[in-house]
């Protein structure tokens, strides 16, 4: 890696999306100390795996897909509440389906609350309790299984979409969706993420915001990506933590620092309110973010074809629990 002012420069991969835009702008101010590479989720995963970058803001799902990946710093992209970054789009004829989803989410929220999932000392036991409670719940009564194009790509949003579908419509509906091709004769739930979600949201009659859905069920933010490195690489620079803190503060207090000269537009040619999107984001991971990550990875593991072995997954989750405990003691 090239030298910068007598020190080695650090290569960092960032997702080429509006959710990461303030972070990338702050990192660019430290050039050539930090060399930023932009790519999509799959590209970042590949670059980190092949050693083309030292660090990358990879999708959080990467932490259970690759045993060589680990969190470099408690830094990533955390989303709380309605963000518009991942949506299920519904047509005008699907109003009843949206109402069914809303009613089911209220029930799921009470299940997660009663199992103490968001704050239990033993998270694994709390999730097992929640699973047992869910197994006793009747699934929503529907004329046909809701159609959804399942995403198995590198994005954590795609995994979240599958988790939420299974929670909302039940295991049988999910398994049927996995086994059978999409029936185009039935209305389909349209899944969109990141920049495309922000642009296309205005074309739907009804919207389900997935970060809001996750928050309503778990009462926690959703962590879509985490700054990751491969094991046995050099230690991460402390400046990265400072950069993420600056970007987070500025995008929430003075978003004009990061607004482009030409604002992106949606499908109706209206300007997208990027400042409004950024108010729901954080780059420094909190205690609640670490807890949310653990819940997400536990729920994701059964749905993943390529995943850590059970022993490695258990060890990984124990490490995460140690991180959560350490962060809690720092904040006490």
- Which pLDDT score is estimated for 4? 46
pLDDT in tens, 228-278: 998 765 555 566 777 888 888 888 888 888 888 888 998 888 898 988 888
Specify the CATH class of 3-77+223-269+281-331 in words. Answer: alpha beta
pLDDT band at residue 99 using 50, 70 and 90 as cut-offs: very high
Phi, psi of 43 (to 5 degrees): -65, -40
pTM of the model: 0.88
- Sorted by sequence, the CB contacts under 8 Å of residue 79 that are 6+ apart come out as 19, 85, 211, 221, 222, 223, 224, 280, 281
Residue limits of CATH 3.40.190.10 in the chain: 3-77+223-269+281-331
Query: What radius of gyration do the chain's Cα atoms show?
Result: 20
Judged against a pLDDT cut of 70, whether residue 318 lies above it is answered with no
Query: Across the chain, what does the average pLDDT equal?
Result: 86
For 235-289, the DSSP string reads PPPTHHHHHHHHHHHHHHH-GGGT--SS--B-TTSPBP-HHHHHTTEEEE--HHH
Cα–Cα dist 243/194, whole Å: 22
Task: Compute the distance between CA of residue 317 and CA of residue 308 in angstroms, rounded to an integer.
Answer: 11
Residue 329 to residue 287: CA distance in whole angstroms: 10
Q: Distance (Å, rounded) from C-alpha 46 to C-alpha 220?
A: 29
pLDDT of residue 314: 67
What are the pLDDT digits (tens) for 105-130? 999 999 999 999 988 888 889 999 99
């Amino acid at each position: 890696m090239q030298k910068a002012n007598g020190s080695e420069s650090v290569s960092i991969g960032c997702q080429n999306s509006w959710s990461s835009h303030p972070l990338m702008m702050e990192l660019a101010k430290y050039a050539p100390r930090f060399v930023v590479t932009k790519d999509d989720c799959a590209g970042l995963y590949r670059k980190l795996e092949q050693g083309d970058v030292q660090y990358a803001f990879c999708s959080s799902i990467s932490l259970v897909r690759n045993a060589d990946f680990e969190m470099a710093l408690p830094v990533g992209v955390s989303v709380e509440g309605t963000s518009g970054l991942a949506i299920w789009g519904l047509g005008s004829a699907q109003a009843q389906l949206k109402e069914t989803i809303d009613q089911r989410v209220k029930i799921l929220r009470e299940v997660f609350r009663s199992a103490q999932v968001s704050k239990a000392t033993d998270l694994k036991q709390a999730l097992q309790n929640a699973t047992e409670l869910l197994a006793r719940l009747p699934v929503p009564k529907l004329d046909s299984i809701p159609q959804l194009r399942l995403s198995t790509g590198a994005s954590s949003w795609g995994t979240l979409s599958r988790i939420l579908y299974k929670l909302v419509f039940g295991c049988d509906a999910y398994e049927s969706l996995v086994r059978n091709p999409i029936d185009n004769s039935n209305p389909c739930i349209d899944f969109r993420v990141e920049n495309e979600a922000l642009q296309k949201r205005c074309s739907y009659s009804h919207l389900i915001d997935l970060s809001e859905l996750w928050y309503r069920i778990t009462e926690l933010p959703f962590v879509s990506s985490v700054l990751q490195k491969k094991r046995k690489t050099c230690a991460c620079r402390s400046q990265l933590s400072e950069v993420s803190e600056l970007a987070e503060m500025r995008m929430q207090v003075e978003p004009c620092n990061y607004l482009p000269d030409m604002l992106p537009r949606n499908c109706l040619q209206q300007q997208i309110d990027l400042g409004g999107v950024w108010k729901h984001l954080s780059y420094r991971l909190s205690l609640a973010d670490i807890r949310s990550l653990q819940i997400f990875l536990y729920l994701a593991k059964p749905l993943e074809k390529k995943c850590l072995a059970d022993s490695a997954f258990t060890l990984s989750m124990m490490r995460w629990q140690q991180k959560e405990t350490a962060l809690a003691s720092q904040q006490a």
